[in-house]
Structure 1
């Protein structure tokens, strides 16, 4: 094409001024794609309607505070509202999401942004809604699967059927790891339209720094083993298991970076005898600040029950910090060499502690850990997207 490929990125997973860390992995992939100069994009990132911005409503209040339109790093983003009623929200979300975004998409077309395809992220409900929009506006679309959209939601019969329908309509389905696409294959998706495009890591943003200097700046103990666990404070991230693992690691301390619904429970667990003073809660941190926390640690521990492609693993390794992670879904594709770290077969505190001890006994060279992460730059994924989008838009034309 003589002009850039025009894409409409559609997803509820996209940061905003009100929720700057929400869906940052989608924004990161787009940012890297735009660096190629071969793609022009507008973002439609719908937000559930909520009537109050009162702080007591937590994340719902932040959704209500999301502006209808904003720009981030030169990218134009619209946040139309859609209804997410209680009890039946999961079932009706694809339709209400598509209806809520329809007027915005129509306006973009009227104002001259005649996009070539819809680039949707997260299979359900976002991908199913994108399939509806694509049908209404006669555009091809692709859907990127990212984790729980395919390793959990298809357990529910109706969403499973809608995912199958959307996969059959899509010009392409992208998985951030092979394990996610295996789910679509089992559901009957056309293998020729399935593409693995792993997430990369920003090797400039995440780079090794002096461990002692980072600890000093962050107010962490200069001496002793230090673990870090990064992610939303929800059960599936396994922060509680990392806290319990401290019972088997008497010389280690732990920093937990993140915020969420399990905060009170985790504080209670950290206050039990033998753990007092050994767990620091750093709260949610912007992605730009995480490099110091990774660099300060001796190991990142990710005890998740479900992940697609966990970005925190590559971010930590890019800082020279090896990882310990549960052997689930795409994680073995990330932690695929001894210098990367250790995989845990059983998701319990004792197994996590044993893996940490094995890692400390080996003490991988931090420079080697960094070299391993350098194999995961964004360039191959960005080029793969350009190639796929070019074929789809060319076929549509």
Structure 2
């Protein structure tokens, strides 16, 4: 019974919001039409962007309400609204303009009906108790046009009327709220074709970013090999050549050259391992993501609280991306944040791997200052994942990624 009452109350609140948006639409439609008309004369061009921005805010609020009611997300406007041309080019604005006149009627009708049915049980008993105010020759009539002429008939018919009103409130009011939410979702949500178009555009952007990131990675590896390992190998070859020439004349000098060549070979091997580790860390193949992140946390100069449950089979690219995000984020924490500690949480829900790195530093991350955030974002976008940085000035800073684990 408690759940039924909660559903009625939730539906009443939703229908109340529907009525409010319907009233707002009834006011907004004439204003928009008037502004559009005077815009042809150039007078309303200054007001129209502001009105479209307000309309977008109301429509996004309706998207949130309808999405919460239906249990799904309805995408709306992304970012701040620009000038009038940018607003009219935004598909969400066109959906707003399609929704507002329809909501002027649907919102008013469904909102009023849903609110009326919800409060009807409260009014049923007090209303029938006023039967004695009606004249005898024209008594109050209720269900099936039955006259109420005494307190006995008022009690009996009032009980029946209360049961019927409760039935309407319990069963019809939530369905009116659902119908209102579906109408809003139908008008405000992008169509399947629009979603596919946006998906293709997103894939084109992420693939272009992946190609750029791959090219930058290849150039980095080439630079590291050329400036580091290759230079070490050339130096080793020169020392071995000198040792070969002085083998018979100065054996002591040969020993020194061989020692330098050995040291150079060790340094070249160390640099080569570093390059290979940056491509795909061997520790991931040896110990898995859990062990690799434990090693990163252990090597961090700051205390790191690590929470990594059993993740099951994770594709190698996603594993590497998670490792690099945690490694880069903790490096930034040590270098730039002034934090005294950090927390790393890795979870897997279904086919989505989530990583959250939290620190108690000063915050204020700026992606344009070369903190590695742009590189992390490109790496995750290339895997069709989501990457978010929340770093207000004063902290704390949250670096989060969600990546699909579908092979």
Range into which the TM-score falls when normalised by the shorter chain: under 0.3
TM norm structure 2 = 0.24
Select the structure that is richer in helix: 2
TM norm structure 1 = 0.25
Select the structure that is richer in strand: 1
In our comparison, the structure showing a higher alpha carbon Rg is 2
